[in-house]
Amino acid sequence: MSLPLEDALRQCDRHAQRMRRAMGRIPFPLDGHELAADNEDLITLIDQFVFRYTKLCATS
């Protein structure tokens, strides 16, 4: 799907904003103990980050 440039930039900006919000809530450094804790909130944040990252890669 091809978007007009302004629409594509707006969409990329939305993805980047949501990634920044998720990054601000993901504990750093992220280690195996954090992941092994099976914390649903953390998993949701990581999923959001990965989803948005793949969308940005697909848009560029």
Dist. CA 35–CA 4, nearest whole Å: 39
The pTM of this model reads 0.72
* Token couple for 18: 């949501």
Residues above pLDDT 70, as percent of the chain: 93
Is 60 exceeded by the pLDDT of residue 1?
Answer: no
- Provide the pLDDT for residue 42: 93
Q: Which residues are CB-contacts of 55 (< 8 A; sequence separation ≥ 6)?
A: 11, 15
- State the average pLDDT over residues 23-48: 90
Domain ranges (residues) in the chain? 5-59
* C-alpha 51, offset from chain centre: 6
Question: Tens digits of per-residue pLDDT, 16-34?
Answer: 999 999 999 998 888 889 8
Residue 38 predicted with pLDDT over 70: yes
Type of residue found at 1: M
